[in-house]
């Protein structure tokens, strides 16, 4: 089959690789019909993750059709309305891999699954404990082959495949694999009360879904912050957000002025700083090196904490992997803030959000700006990375 392989910093290649096969009894094989490039893929592309190996297959937003089921795939996942899976079913695949039977899965903390990361030992050295395995996202989170390919192997298929009803296009449901639930959980983490104002830093695809979700959850006002004109425009036109360009205004002052001096009730960092702290050995040096490269990024979290109203909530969907410098702990503590974060518990949100799509509450395809064949992946990564041609979201068709 053809697959998008990471070959080094700023280098991906579409290669012919062996077709995936069933390895464990609960595996399934999916023939992929649509797949996307995520903003977080760019950090792998940029070469910031030392646990990438040449030849690794990228991609964690994908969907398709079941072509093979392992002998141990159990019937009747309640998140699939108890319906058994069958060859030929059209499915979406959450980017977090979850076993469905550990302490964390039982508490619907799916992205914290105990059993899906075969390289848990690597993460434990850094974080104390390992979160779930992820598709196509470095060996730190399992080294699973990703879904920017013609086929993919999906472990724990009985827990990790969601059937899609007829009548919905790939583009309407593809983002249920990551960015729509990620934006939604981030909005939920804002603990929104009626009449609240939410400020969201970052108008990439996750930020766009967070804006829409914040309104779904009862926010009165959403203020979106970015510097890329077309992203701010999308936030305004599609998301109905008020917008601030941080290159043009002092965001902290502007937010105060817009909220009668009190500050937003909750703030969201939908930017993150993945470039920091990826190392295992000699991490400190790498962090310092990365910090030099990424000096503006921790500013988002700092700025958000300082801007948030007293007693408010800080939601962090943006990905962090290591340490940050100069966390304004004084502001955080003395203003009595709460922080909520985490990789998305995809399995918790997928079906309720699918119902929102079915009901017509939202059509997630609004973020797509580019559609390209899988073969054009090297070009697609360049377009997306450099935001060429007003690029916001790329879908690849195998």
Partner 1 sequence: MNQPIKVEKTMTINKPAAELYRFWHNFENLPHFMKHLKSVKVQDAKRSHWVASAPLDGSIEWDADITEDRENELIAWKSVAGADVDNAGFIQFKPAPNNNGTEVKVVTEYNPPAGVIGAAIAKLFGEAPEQQIGDDLRRFKMLMETGEVATTEGQSRGSK
What is the contact surface with partner 1 in residues (CB under 8 A)? Answer: 1, 3, 5, 7, 13, 15, 17-21, 23-26, 53-57, 72, 99-103, 106, 114-118, 120-121, 133, 142-145, 149, 151, 153, 155-156
**Calpha distance 269→91 (Å, rounded):** 31
By C-beta, is 146 or 263 nearer to partner 1?
146
Smallest gap from Cβ 162 to partner 1, in A, equals: 19
- To partner 1, the closest distance from the beta carbon of 143 in angstroms equals 5
Least CB distance to partner 1 at residue 101 (A): 5
Smallest gap from Cβ 105 to partner 1, in A, equals 9
DSSP 6-56: EEETTEEEEEE-PPP---STT-EEEEEEEEEE-HHHHHHHTT--TT--TTE
- In the complex, the smallest distance separating the C-beta of residue 19 from partner 1, rounded to whole angstroms, is 7
Least distance CB 284 / partner 1 (angstroms): 22
- Tell me the closest approach of the beta carbon of residue 375 to partner 1, in angstroms: 15
Please report how close the Cβ of residue 128 comes to partner 1 at its closest, in angstroms.
Answer: 13
In the bound state with partner 1, the residue whose beta carbon lies nearer, of 142 and 279, is: 142
Of the chain, the end-to-end C-alpha distance in Å amounts to: 10
User: What is each CA distance from 208 to 145, 175, 181, in whole angstroms?
Assistant: 28, 12, 12
- Give the Cα separation of 392 and 398 in Å (integer): 20
User: 201 has which bridge partners?
Assistant: 225, 269
- By C-alpha distance, which of 132, 138, 190, 145 is closest to 1? 145
Task: Please say which residue, 121 or 128, places its beta carbon nearer to partner 1.
Answer: 121
Pick the closer one to partner 1 by CB: 117 or 321.
117
Question: Is 343 strand, coil or helix?
Answer: coil
Q: Which is nearer to partner 1, 15 or 256 (CB)?
A: 15
- For 244, the enclosing helix (H) or strand (E) is strand 242-245
Q: How far is the CB of 110 from partner 1 (least distance, A)?
A: 14
Beta carbon nearer to partner 1, 144 or 381: 144
Q: Which is nearer to partner 1, 25 or 195 (CB)?
A: 25
Q: Report the candidate in 172, 137, 155, 203 with the shortest Cα–Cα distance to residue 343.
A: 137
Report d(CA 344, CA 322) in Å as an integer: 18
Q: Which is nearer to partner 1, 102 or 168 (CB)?
A: 102
Torsion over CA: 269, 144, 28, 374 (sign): positive
Q: Which residues contact 341 (CB under 8 A, 6 or more apart)?
A: 189, 315, 316, 317
Nearer residue to partner 1 within complex by CB, 10 or 169: 10
Choose between 73 and 244: whose C-beta lies nearer to partner 1: 73
Q: 17: exposed, middle or buried (C-beta count within 10 Å: 0-12, 13-18, 19+)?
A: middle
**Rounded to the nearest whole angstrom, what is the least distance from the CB of residue 263 to partner 1 in the complex?**
40
Using alpha carbons, select from 200, 192, 188 the residue that is nearest to residue 234.
200
Contact 178/60 with Cβ under 8 angstroms?
Answer: yes
């Amino acid at each position: 089959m053809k697959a998008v392989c990471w070959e080094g910093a700023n280098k991906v290649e579409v290669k012919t690789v062996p077709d995936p096969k069933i390895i464990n009894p609960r595996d399934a094989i999916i023939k992929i019909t649509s797949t996307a490039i995520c903003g977080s893929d760019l950090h792998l592309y940029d070469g910031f993750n030392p646990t990438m190996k040449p030849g690794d297959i990228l991609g964690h937003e994908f969907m398709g059709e079941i072509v093979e089921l392992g002998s141990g795939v159990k019937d009747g996942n309640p998140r699939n309305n108890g319906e058994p899976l069958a060859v030929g079913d059209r499915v979406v695949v959450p980017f977090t891999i979850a076993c469905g039977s550990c302490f964390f899965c039982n508490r619907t903390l799916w992205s914290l699954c105990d059993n899906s990361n075969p390289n848990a030992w690597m993460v434990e050295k850094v974080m104390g404990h390992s979160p779930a395995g992820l598709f196509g996202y470095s060996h730190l989170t399992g080294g699973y082959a990703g879904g920017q390919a013609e086929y993919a192997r999906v472990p724990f298929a009985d827990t990790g495949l969601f059937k899609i009803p007829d009548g919905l296009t790939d583009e309407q449901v593809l983002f249920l694999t990551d960015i729509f639930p990620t934006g939604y959980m981030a909005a939920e983490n804002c603990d929104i009360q009626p009449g609240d104002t939410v400020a969201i830093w970052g108008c990439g695809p996750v930020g766009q879904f967070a804006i829409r979700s914040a309104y779904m959850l009862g926010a009165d006002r959403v203020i979106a912050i970015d510097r890329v004109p077309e992203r701010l425009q999308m936030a305004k036109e599609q998301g109905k957000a008020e917008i601030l360009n941080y290159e043009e205004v002092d965001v902290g002052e502007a937010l105060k002025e817009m909220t009668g001096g009190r500050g937003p009730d909750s703030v969201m960092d939908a930017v993150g700083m993945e470039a920091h702290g990826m190392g295992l050995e000699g991490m400190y040096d790498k962090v310092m090196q990365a910090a030099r490269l990424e000096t503006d990024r921790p500013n988002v979290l700092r700025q958000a904490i300082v801007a948030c109203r007293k007693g408010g909530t800080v939601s962090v969907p943006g990905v962090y992997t290591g340490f940050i410098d100069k966390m304004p702990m004084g502001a955080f503590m003395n203003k009595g803030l709460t922080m909520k974060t985490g990789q998305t518990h995809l399995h918790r949100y997928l079906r309720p959000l699918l119902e929102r799509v079915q009901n017509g509450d939202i059509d997630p395809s609004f973020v797509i700006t580019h559609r390209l064949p899988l073969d054009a992946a090297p070009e697609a990564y360049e377009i997306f990375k450099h935001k060429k041609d007003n690029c916001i979201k790329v879908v690849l068709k195998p």
